[in-house]
């Protein structure tokens, strides 16, 4: 039958339904016929087999058609109508039609589950994106009226503008992700906060201040300030090397954190003072975090003129985040160079060169000394610096409050398999291994494998790659579950490899087509997590040295994989061997044409 067989078949199908007085979902049957032709490469409906039917409904349809759980009965009815027509028209034999009908009955529960999973995932992701867009516009999700108004206005926008705003938001979300960290227990954090000289200094200042008058600028009078310095053991201004002798910084931090309350020209102990004195760990940490925020984000005003110390303090947030993001301690010289570059990008200086660099270096060293006294930074490694556990916790709290995604090692232990796989994307190898071990520790091997296999059946290439990687950490107790899933096209190659590694008799070597499919799937998965160039480099690292990659390209274009063209184009653009790259571009052209 010619390539355009869908049109006449669709016409005859409608006539067949009319003659029998049966209601036909014309749009649904047309979609199914087109998927058979375009995605299964059938040259006519008579080539439909139970195996191809499973591929159509469990792989192709969920990936390409937006459907909801309520649509499942209608879709299956449309499919049964097509099979009945094929039987009545003699396009397939009665036994073949019966086999197809049995195939529909067998796949129906799994098809229902897959569509439901896709719907749940889509709704969850859509809800998260919409909530993020609203919050970015300053709309609280706790305000029903504001939410309703925002949704109404958003839906009035042209589709292109809605799409552009969504894509921009998703790009920003990806940029607002920081590496995972380990967070110490609350007891240890609270003990560190109690031992911090910052806590002691601010509590002592609040206690010394008691209730007294302040200036019109809400600061201590000169005589009071001198007395406060003596009481707290702070140096006189001239000895501090700048306009801030330490007292100003402590005073404004205490006021900002509500340890000292200033109102109507008078200062008095604030509500947070009790928190800093509290024996309750949670109360103490809740009071300490605003204090930390106030001292590391001082925001000195550029218009008032800034000395070196104030310049360094204004750059402090970036310094602490830089320390937070590193796996290892940072050498002092490296940290200093990054800080000076950052300041140079923010401010214009009249004096430049070695003199400015030395002044900033001296101020930065002094600042690190203060942060070390306060229990925020500590020496680590060879002349390096790192955040203390207390500072790691505090920086993360501020990042989360500012809308960053800041994973914590161990948070995925109670997650579903889908949540585990989604969360592992943000982890380094060492922390990912720790998360996987923690997740598996609380689960029966067979149950864990079943969850992961479900992700592999319903997820994209990236999720499938990660789920298969986690599956490799499960022992032979999961063999019956893996064997049962080995018939699913997306799972079969991975299941076969797992069974071999587990020493199971059902294990087998992959066919050539399966090997090539896994290669495409691997590159496609890596392209979800990094750029095409990085994905190609990473994928090629696992290819055996004796593989003829140019010849492999000529095989790849025949492989049925939804991401095939994108993978071949990436190989064509980024493979280091020019001949292989050329073969990949040719293969991509063939794949598109096919």
Structural Rg of the chain based on CA atoms: 32
Phi-psi group of 353: left, alpha or beta (phi > 0 → left; psi -120 to 50 → alpha; rest → beta): left
Query: 463-500 pLDDT, tens per residue?
Result: 999 999 999 999 999 999 999 988 888 899 999 999 99
| pLDDT score, position 66 | 64
> Among the listed ranges 125-129, 138-142, 331-335, which one has the minimum average pLDDT value?
125-129
CA distance 4 to 7: 6
Cα end-to-end span (Å), the chain: 17
Of 376, 413, 526, 423, give the one whose Cα is nearest residue 177. Answer: 423
Domain spanning 311-401 has what CATH number? 1.10.10
Residue with tokens 């003072």: 273
Query: 357-405 pLDDT, tens per residue?
Result: 788 899 999 999 999 999 999 999 888 999 999 999 999 999 999 888 8
| pLDDT score, position 3 | 60
Helix (H) / strand (E) containing 281 = helix 281-296
CA distance 503 to 517: 23
| pLDDT score, position 242 | 44
Per-residue pLDDT band at 207 (split at 50, 70, 90): very high
Of 301, 490, 292, 322, give the one whose Cα is nearest residue 397. Answer: 292
Q: Where are any strands of DSSP class E within 254-383?
A: 260-263, 266-269, 330-331, 377-380
CA distance 459 to 448: 16
Query: 331-344 pLDDT, tens per residue?
Result: 999 998 888 887 87
Percentage of the chain with pLDDT > 70?
94
> Among the listed ranges 231-240, 349-358, 440-449, which one has the minimum average pLDDT value?
349-358
Phi, psi of 163 (to 5 degrees): -65, -45
Query: 499-528 pLDDT, tens per residue?
Result: 999 999 988 999 999 999 999 999 999 998
| pLDDT score, position 544 | 84
CA distance 145 to 147: 5
Query: 422-437 pLDDT, tens per residue?
Result: 999 999 888 999 999 9
**What's the residue count for the chain?**
594
Contact call for residues 554 and 583 (beta carbons, < 8 A): yes
| Biggest alpha carbon–alpha carbon distance for the chain | 105
Two structure tokens written together for 187: 């007891």
CA 32 to chain centre: 34
Distances (CA, A) of 242 to 201, 229, 233, 295, 359: 20, 15, 17, 17, 11
CA distance 294 to 199: 12
CA distance 552 to 547: 8
Bridge partners for 263 per DSSP: 266
Q: Where are the domains of the chain?
A: 6-121, 141-175, 186-296, 311-401, 417-509, 514-593
Residues 6+ apart with CB under 8 A from 538: 526, 530
Residues 6+ apart with CB under 8 A from 240: 246
Of 41, 61, 33, 39, give the one whose Cα is nearest residue 458. Answer: 61
- Is the pLDDT score of 158 beyond 70? yes
Percentage of the chain with pLDDT > 90?
62
Of 441, 433, 384, give the one whose Cα is nearest residue 409. Answer: 433
How many CB atoms are located within 10 Å of the residue 230 CB?
Answer: 10
- Is the pLDDT score of 199 beyond 90? yes
Helix (H) / strand (E) containing 497 = helix 492-501
């Amino acid at each position: 039958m010619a390539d355009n067989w869908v049109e006449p078949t669709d016409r005859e199908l409608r006539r067949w339904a009319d003659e029998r007085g049966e209601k036909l979902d014309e749009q649904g049957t047309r979609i199914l016929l087109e998927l058979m032709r375009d995605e299964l490469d059938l040259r006519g409906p008579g080539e439909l087999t139970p195996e191809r039917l499973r591929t159509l409904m469990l792989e192709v349809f969920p990936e390409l058609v937006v459907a909801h759980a309520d649509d499942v009965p209608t879709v299956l009815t449309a499919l049964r109508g097509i099979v009945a027509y094929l039987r009545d028209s003699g396009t397939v034999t009665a036994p073949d039609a019966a086999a197809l009908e049995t195939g529909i009955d067998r796949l129906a529960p799994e098809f229902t589950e897959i569509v439901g999973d896709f719907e749940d995932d889509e709704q969850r992701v859509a809800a998260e994106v919409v909530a993020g867009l609203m919050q970015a516009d300053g709309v609280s999700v706790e305000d029903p009226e504001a939410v309703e108004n925002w949704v109404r206005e958003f839906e009035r926008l042209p589709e292109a503008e809605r799409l552009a705003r969504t894509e921009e938001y998703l790009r920003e979300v990806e940029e607002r992700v920081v590496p995972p960290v380990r967070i110490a227990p609350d007891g240890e954090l609270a003990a560190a906060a109690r031992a911090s000289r910052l806590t002691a200094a601010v509590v002592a200042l609040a206690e010394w201040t008691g209730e007294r008058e302040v200036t019109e600028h809400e600061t201590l009078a000169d005589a009071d300030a001198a007395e406060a310095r003596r009481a707290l053991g702070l140096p006189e201004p001239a000895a501090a090397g700048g306009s801030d002798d330490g007292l100003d910084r402590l005073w404004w931090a205490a006021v900002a954190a509500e340890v000292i309350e200033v109102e109507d020209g008078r200062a008095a102990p604030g509500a947070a003072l009790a928190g800093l004195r509290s024996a309750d760990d949670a109360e103490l940490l809740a009071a300490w975090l605003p204090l930390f925020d106030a001292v590391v984000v001082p925001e000195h005003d550029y218009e008032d003129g800034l000395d070196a110390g104030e310049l360094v303090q204004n750059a402090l947030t970036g310094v602490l985040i830089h320390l937070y993001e590193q796996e290892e301690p940072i050498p002092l010289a490296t940290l200093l160079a990054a800080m000076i570059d950052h300041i140079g990008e923010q401010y214009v200086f009249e004096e430049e060169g070695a003199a400015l660099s030395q002044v900033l270096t001296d101020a930065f060293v002094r600042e690190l000394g203060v942060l070390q006294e306060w229990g925020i930074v500590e020496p680590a490694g060879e002349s390096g610096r790192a955040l203390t556990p207390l500072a790691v916790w505090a920086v993360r709290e501020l990042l989360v409050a500012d809308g960053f995604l800041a994973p914590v090692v161990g948070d995925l232990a109670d997650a579903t398999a889908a949540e585990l796989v989604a969360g592992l994307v943000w982890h380094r190898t060492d922390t990912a291994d720790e998360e996987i071990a923690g997740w598996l520790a609380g689960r029966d091997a067979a149950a864990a494998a079943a969850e992961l296999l479900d992700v592999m059946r319903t997820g994209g290439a990236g999720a499938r790659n990660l789920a298969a990687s986690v599956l490799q950490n499960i022992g032979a107790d999961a063999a019956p579950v893996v064997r049962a899933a080995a018939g699913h096209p997306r799972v079969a190659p991975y299941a076969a490899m797992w069974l071999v590694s587990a020493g199971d008799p059902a294990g087998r070597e992959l066919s050539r087509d399966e090997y090539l499919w896994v290669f495409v799937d691997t590159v496609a998965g890596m392209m979800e997590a990094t750029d095409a160039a990085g994905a190609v480099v990473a994928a090629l690292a696992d290819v055996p040295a004796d593989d003829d990659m140019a010849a492999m390209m000529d095989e790849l274009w025949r492989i049925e994989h939804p991401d095939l063209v994108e993978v071949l184009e990436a190989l064509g653009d980024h493979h280091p061997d020019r001949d292989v790259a050329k073969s990949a571009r040719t293969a991509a052209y063939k794949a598109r044409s096919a």
